[in-house]
């Protein structure tokens, strides 16, 4: 009888260990792991002209097993999917330009609009993203090609819990362009010439959340002083501009502080009459390049010296 009881106990233990390799109970919810993934399984995301697909892969890490270390991923500030360490998940996404963002599950907040990544979703196309994890489980999304994604999928499991419920039938219909009927050309007289407003862009780069001018950019302030000397006696506006990262109110204040710093440097170091200079911070309201790329955001973070046309 004792031998029979021992055999049954061993069988239960072995069965439990085997099941644990493919299933896990978290908060009374069973997780069922799949075999490692392949690119082919995402073809179901590409059947609609209204939507594309997104795949999120979080490679396994030895130090990411803490409770509530999973990542919540949002789209336009709303929950899309959640993904744990060593797992991947996927979702259909309505076609168009969207903002992706991510936060650790453990922070217990619903703000899914922080540090957004602007992505263009094309119909019937699958895009792949790696979820990198930093200190305190802070996530960072990186878009990769299908080859890289296919390699990473070999070492991860498909997540079957907290997955997206996006219904492509709720996505807007694709816009169909009506054929245009050629019209005879109409002569339009050219506009009268407009006097150009003298401007100078200063290539001064500020540290994050700072407004002081670093020594290596002193030459840019020299250029501003020489520019103002060419228009001596005329007033000038020192404009501060930012990219689209951050809130509108914060960016206006940051651009104003940076414009004030350049104005004060011209007054104290070059003897420019303070009454000639006005500092205005425009924040992100006047971009001259796209904010969808790092190069464009770099271009938008600028300080300008402008001689208003009213002075001429």
Structural domain count of the chain: 2
Looking at residues 137-146, what average pLDDT do you find? 90
* Secondary-structure breakdown of the chain: helix, strand, coil percentages, each rounded to the nearest 5: 30, 30, 40
Looking at residues 136-146, what average pLDDT do you find? 89
Examine the domain organization and report whether 138 and 216 are in the same domain: no
Examine the domain organization and report whether 165 and 56 are in the same domain: yes
194: pLDDT confidence band, cut at 50, 70 and 90?
A: low
**Rounded to 10 degrees, what is the CA torsion of 218, 220, 222, 226?**
-170
* 191: in domain: no
Looking at residues 23-28, what average pLDDT do you find? 61
Q: Which residue has the higher pLDDT, 200 or 286?
A: 286
- Sheet of 126-133, strands arranged across: 139-144, 126-133, 51-58, 87-94, 157-158
Say which DSSP state 2 is in.
Answer: H
* 56: in domain: yes
Looking at residues 106-117, what average pLDDT do you find? 69
CB-based contact 34:160 (threshold 8 Å): yes
Six-digit token pair at 76?
Answer: 């336009």
CATH of the domain at 227: 3.30.1330.60
pTM: 0.47
Where does a domain end: 169, 189, 208?
169
Q: Which residue has the higher pLDDT, 2 or 310?
A: 310
| pLDDT at residue number 165 | 72
Question: What angle is formed at CA 181 by the lines to CA 176 and CA 186, rounded to 5 degrees?
Answer: 130
Which of 12-16, 128-132, 232-236 is predicted with the least confidence, judged by mean pLDDT?
A: 12-16
* 182: in domain: no
Examine the domain organization and report whether 139 and 262 are in the same domain: no
Examine the domain organization and report whether 152 and 33 are in the same domain: yes
| pLDDT at residue number 55 | 94
Question: Helices in 159-240 by DSSP H: which ranges?
Answer: 218-230
Query: CA nearest 155: which of 23, 62, 74, 242?
Result: 62
* 180: in domain: no
Examine the domain organization and report whether 150 and 62 are in the same domain: yes
CB-based contact 116:99 (threshold 8 Å): yes
Looking at residues 177-182, what average pLDDT do you find? 67
CA atoms within 13 A on the CB side of 102: 26
CB-based contact 156:58 (threshold 8 Å): yes
Question: What angle is formed at CA 208 by the lines to CA 203 and CA 210, rounded to 5 degrees?
Answer: 80
Looking at residues 14-27, what average pLDDT do you find? 45
| pLDDT at residue number 189 | 80
**What is the distance between the alpha carbons of residues 283 and 250, in angstroms, rounded to a whole number?**
8
Specify the 3-state DSSP secondary structure of 43.
Answer: helix
Residue 303 domain boundaries: 199-311
* 113: in domain: yes
Question: Helices in the chain by DSSP H: which ranges?
Answer: 2-22, 146-153, 218-230, 248-270, 294-300
Parallel, antiparallel, or unpaired: how do β-strands 51-58 and 87-94 relate? antiparallel
Where does a domain end: 169, 191, 226?
169
Examine the domain organization and report whether 233 and 273 are in the same domain: yes
Average pLDDT, the chain: 80
Examine the domain organization and report whether 209 and 132 are in the same domain: no
* 179: in domain: no
Looking at residues 157-184, what average pLDDT do you find? 76
Predicted confidence (pLDDT) at residue 8 exceeds the cutoff of 70 = no
Q: Which of 9-18, 61-70, 150-159, 215-224 has the highest mean pLDDT?
A: 215-224
Q: How far is CA 106 from CA 32, 110, 159, in A?
A: 22, 11, 18
Predicted confidence (pLDDT) at residue 133 exceeds the cutoff of 70 = yes
179: pLDDT confidence band, cut at 50, 70 and 90?
A: low
Examine the domain organization and report whether 121 and 247 are in the same domain: no
181: pLDDT confidence band, cut at 50, 70 and 90?
A: confident
Examine the domain organization and report whether 157 and 55 are in the same domain: yes
* 246: in domain: yes
Q: Which residue has the tokens 């991510």?
A: 102
Six-digit token pair at 244?
Answer: 């689209």
Looking at residues 37-51, what average pLDDT do you find? 81
CB-based contact 200:229 (threshold 8 Å): no
Examine the domain organization and report whether 28 and 163 are in the same domain: yes
Cβ-count burial 197-208 (b if 16+ within 10 Å, e if not): ebebbbebebee
Where does a domain end: 169, 185, 208?
169
Examine the domain organization and report whether 121 and 253 are in the same domain: no
Say which DSSP state 95 is in.
Answer: S
Examine the domain organization and report whether 85 and 207 are in the same domain: no
* 33: in domain: yes
């Amino acid at each position: 009888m004792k031998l029979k009881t021992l055999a049954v106990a061993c069988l239960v233990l072995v069965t439990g260990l085997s099941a644990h390799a493919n299933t896990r109970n978290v908060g009374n919810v069973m997780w069922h792991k799949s075999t490692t993934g392949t690119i082919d399984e995402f073809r179901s995301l590409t059947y609609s002209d209204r939507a594309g697909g997104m795949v999120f892969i979080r490679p396994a890490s030895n130090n990411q097993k803490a409770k509530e270390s999973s990542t919540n991923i949002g789209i336009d500030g709303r929950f899309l999917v959640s993904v744990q360490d060593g797992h991947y998940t996927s979702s259909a996404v309505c076609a168009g330009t969207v903002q992706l963002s991510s936060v650790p599950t453990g922070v217990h907040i619903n703000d899914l609009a922080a540090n957004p990544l602007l992505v263009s979703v094309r119909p019937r196309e699958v895009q792949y993203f790696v979820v990198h994890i930093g200190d305190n489980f802070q996530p960072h999304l990186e878009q990769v090609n299908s080859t890289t994604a296919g390699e990473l999928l070999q070492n991860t499991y498909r997540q079957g819990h907290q997955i997206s419920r996006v219904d492509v039938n709720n996505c807007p219909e694709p816009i169909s362009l009506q054929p245009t009927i050629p019209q005879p050309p109409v002569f339009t007289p050219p506009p009268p010439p407009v006097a150009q407003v003298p401007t100078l862009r200063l290539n001064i780069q500020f540290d994050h959340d700072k407004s002081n001018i670093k020594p290596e950019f002193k030459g840019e302030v020299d250029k501003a002083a020489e520019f103002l000397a060419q228009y001596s006696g005329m007033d000038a506006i020192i404009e501060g501009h930012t990219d689209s990262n951050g809130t509108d109110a914060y960016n206006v204040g940051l651009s104003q502080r940076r414009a004030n710093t350049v104005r004060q440097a011209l007054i104290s170091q070059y003897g420019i009459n303070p009454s000639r200079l006005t500092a205005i911070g425009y924040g992100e309201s006047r971009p001259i390049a796209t904010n969808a790329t790092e190069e464009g955001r770099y271009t938008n973070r600028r300080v300008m010296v402008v001689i208003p046309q009213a002075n001429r």
